[in-house]
Amino acid sequence: MWEASALTITVFLPLVGAALITLIPKAKEEAAKPVALGVSLLAFLLSLAILAGYYLGPPGGEGLAYQLRVDWIPVIDASYHVAIDGISLPLFVLSYLLTFLCAVYTFHHLEEPGRPKAFLSLMLLLQTGMAGTFVAFDLVLFFVFWELVLVPMYFMIGIWGGPRREYAAVKFFLYTLFGSVFMLVAFIALYFAGPGTFDIVALQQAGAAGEFGLTFQRLAFLGIFLGLAVKVPMWPFHTWLPDAHTEAPTVGSVLLAGILLKMGTYGFVRIALPILPDAAVEYAPIIGALAVIAILYGALCCLAQTDLKRLIAFSSVGHMGFVMLGIATLTPVGVNAAIFGMIAHGIITGMLFFAVGSIKERYHSRAIADIGGGVLQTMPRMGAVLTFVAIASLGLPPLPGFWGEVVALYAAFNPAEALVDAGFLTFFRVLMVLGAIGTVLTAGYFLNMLQKVTMGTAPARWREADLSDVSAIEWGAWSPLLVMTVAIGLVPVLVFGITDPAVSAVLTALGA
């Protein structure tokens, strides 16, 4: 019973919580916070139970588990098919962890205009969309969850965001939608070209068996690529991201960076590569090139930023570039590195946005010049946290940022056989070198940021302002992330051990 219903219960529990919260009378609006906390904690514990069950239960850490397949729209053979494997499991659990921590964080601070009831029900709705995307094994269902995140995030940015919130919210929505409608058309094309189903498992088998012709694959891949690339976001589709991240409230930024971006890269691993393997080989060099451009471009933009939040936002463009470079190699090593990179980026950048959000809340400004340095003086603990996560993010071994980047670069040195046969070995090695230069630039801008923000002498007005250091609630929300940063950095096999068998299974179509 639990086996079949576990994912459904866990995915829709936050939705039920959101409905409950809307029933709270307006006069007792603060009661929304403990309810959201309780619901998200319970959901997080359920996701941990699923994680534990995956190892201890029948699959024993391999293959699909917790499957449930119920017919939904029989006319078009769209089903409610959910399952989980080693690729989705870490992202699935991470989404619950981050939402739970965000619920904790709202006890500390919620941006103007407050209204925790509306905010938290949107956050829980968002959680259902995020988690559902990672467990959907039907293209229509995947698309439903994929789009489900748009509306809550639109309102989170648009109501609780910074000065340019309305512009940023609409831009976020329209960019993502623009990509995804073409993805939907490509999904339907897969239905008609293949075995007449939207089931991802069946389509993967069809892809491995070579049922799709090359011309068809090129077009379908293009459609899917548009949808996913906007979400990742890959250069040159990234322009919504700096605006959305910068203007979003802290919780919105954390979830956007921590989970929403991963939906795009996850889609490449789950859908684009295994179902359309031949087109993947043709597109891989382009994806690799765009990824490296993103790495370098992101780093150069970061060097030029004067806004702390915008800087972190652009750093995401670069980090997602490493993830995409790993995927573009089409090797198990590269894809493992990509998933590791997603988890690492989710934890670290989520944490960075928490820290930056808290700094902004105290300084009432995101501009580096306004802060003027010396955070280590005014708020020593806050400065230490920021320094630690910034260093983790720039990829210092043995913190997790390092593993994602260096393994992706290593994979680019040895791309898949098919790419070597097509004469792209040198090309990928050039990409590797350029990516390595990107890591240096990354270190450069983060150290530059630390120097300007945390070090030096604090301006007199901030020394006299008596800024409060990290609060107990903030420690509560952050310490799990800080601990995990150290843990998966020191023992990367915690993630690689989960992902490796599943990645090999998915890449069989590519002859890996």
Partner 1 sequence: MDVDQATQIDLFALAPELAVLGASLLVLLIELFLHGPRKRFVNPIAVLGVLVAFGFVVALWLDGAQRSSFGQMFVVDDYALAFKGFFLAVALFVLLISYRYFSEIRTFQGEYYFLMLAAFLGMMLMPSARDLVMLFIALELVSVPGFIMAGLRKFDLRSNEGAMKFFLFGVLSAAVLLFGLSIVYGFTGTTTLEGVAASLSAGEANPLLLAATLFVIAGFGFKVSAVPFHFWAPDTYEGAPIPVTAFLAVASKAAGFAGLLQVTFVAFEPLADVWAPVLGVVAILTMTLGNLTALTQTNMVRLLAYSSVAHAGYVLVPFAVVQPGDAALNADAFSAVLVYLFAYGAMNIGAFAVVIAVARRHPGRRVSDYAGLGQRSPGLAVALTTFLVSLGGIPPLVGFVAKLAVFFVAVEAGTTLGIVLAAAVAINTVISLVYYLRVARVVWMEEAPEPEPEPVQPGLALGFTVGGLAVVTVALFVLAPLLWGAADQAVLIASG
Taking alpha carbons only, the member of 353, 350, 352 closest to residue 111 is 353
214 touches partner 1 by CB under 8 A:
no
State in angstroms the smallest separation of the CB of 32 from partner 1: 14
- Based on CB atoms, which residue is closest to partner 1, 128 or 485? 128
Site for partner 1 (CB under 8 A): which residue of 62, 147, 370, 469?
Answer: 147
154 touches partner 1 by CB under 8 A:
yes
Tell me the window of 188-196, 314-322, 411-419, 438-446 that interacts with partner 1 (CB under 8 A): 188-196
Dist. CA 391–CA 385, nearest whole Å? 10
In a 10 Å sphere around its CB, with 0-12 CB exposed, 13-18 middle and 19+ buried, how is residue 287 labelled? buried
- Based on CB atoms, which residue is closest to partner 1, 183 or 458? 183
Site for partner 1 (CB under 8 A): which residue of 169, 328, 335, 359?
Answer: 169
State in angstroms the smallest separation of the CB of 242 from partner 1: 20
Question: Which residues have a Cβ under 8 Å from the Cβ of 161 and sit 6 or more positions away?
Answer: 111, 168, 169, 247, 248, 249, 252
Angle made by CA atoms 413, 262, 119, in degrees to the nearest 5: 160
- Based on CB atoms, which residue is closest to partner 1, 75 or 472? 75
Tell me the window of 158-166, 325-333, 350-358, 489-497 that interacts with partner 1 (CB under 8 A): 158-166
309 touches partner 1 by CB under 8 A:
no
Question: Which residues have a Cβ under 8 Å from the Cβ of 372 and sit 6 or more positions away?
Answer: 456, 458, 459, 462
185 touches partner 1 by CB under 8 A:
yes
State in angstroms the smallest separation of the CB of 325 from partner 1: 29
Before 113, cis peptide (omega within 30)?
Answer: yes
**Number of neighbours of residue 286 by Cβ within 10 angstroms:** 11
Site for partner 1 (CB under 8 A): which residue of 42, 170, 208, 482?
Answer: 170
Dist. CA 67–CA 301, nearest whole Å? 44
Q: Which two tokens stand for residue 231?
A: 């979400």
- Based on CB atoms, which residue is closest to partner 1, 185 or 505? 185
148 touches partner 1 by CB under 8 A:
yes
State in angstroms the smallest separation of the CB of 436 from partner 1: 38
- Based on CB atoms, which residue is closest to partner 1, 22 or 451? 22
282 touches partner 1 by CB under 8 A:
no
Site for partner 1 (CB under 8 A): which residue of 84, 123, 140, 324?
Answer: 140
DSSP string, 96-126: HHHHHHHHHHHHH---TT--HHHHHHHHHHH
Tell me the window of 54-62, 182-190, 315-323, 414-422 that interacts with partner 1 (CB under 8 A): 182-190
Tell me the window of 5-13, 136-144, 299-307, 455-463 that interacts with partner 1 (CB under 8 A): 136-144
192 touches partner 1 by CB under 8 A:
yes
353 touches partner 1 by CB under 8 A:
no
Site for partner 1 (CB under 8 A): which residue of 1, 23, 27, 75?
Answer: 75
Site for partner 1 (CB under 8 A): which residue of 3, 30, 71, 361?
Answer: 71
Site for partner 1 (CB under 8 A): which residue of 92, 119, 134, 155?
Answer: 155
142 touches partner 1 by CB under 8 A:
no
Taking alpha carbons only, the member of 253, 250, 255 closest to residue 97 is 255
Question: Which residues have a Cβ under 8 Å from the Cβ of 321 and sit 6 or more positions away?
Answer: 234, 235, 291, 292, 293, 294, 295, 298, 435, 438
Dist. CA 258–CA 379, nearest whole Å? 25
Phi, then psi, of 457 in degrees rounded to 5: -100, 130
112 touches partner 1 by CB under 8 A:
no
Distances in Å between the Cα of 177 and the Cα atoms of 88, 198, 233, 421, 425 are: 23, 20, 13, 37, 35
143 touches partner 1 by CB under 8 A:
yes
User: Per residue in 228-253, is it b (16+ CB within 10 Å) or e — as a string?
Assistant: bbbbbbbbebbebbbbbbbbbbbbbb
73 touches partner 1 by CB under 8 A:
yes
Dist. CA 211–CA 86, nearest whole Å? 26
Given the rule CB under 8 A, which residues bind partner 1?
71-76, 140, 143-144, 147-148, 150-151, 154-155, 158-159, 165-166, 169-170, 173-174, 177-178, 181-182, 184-185, 188-189, 191-192
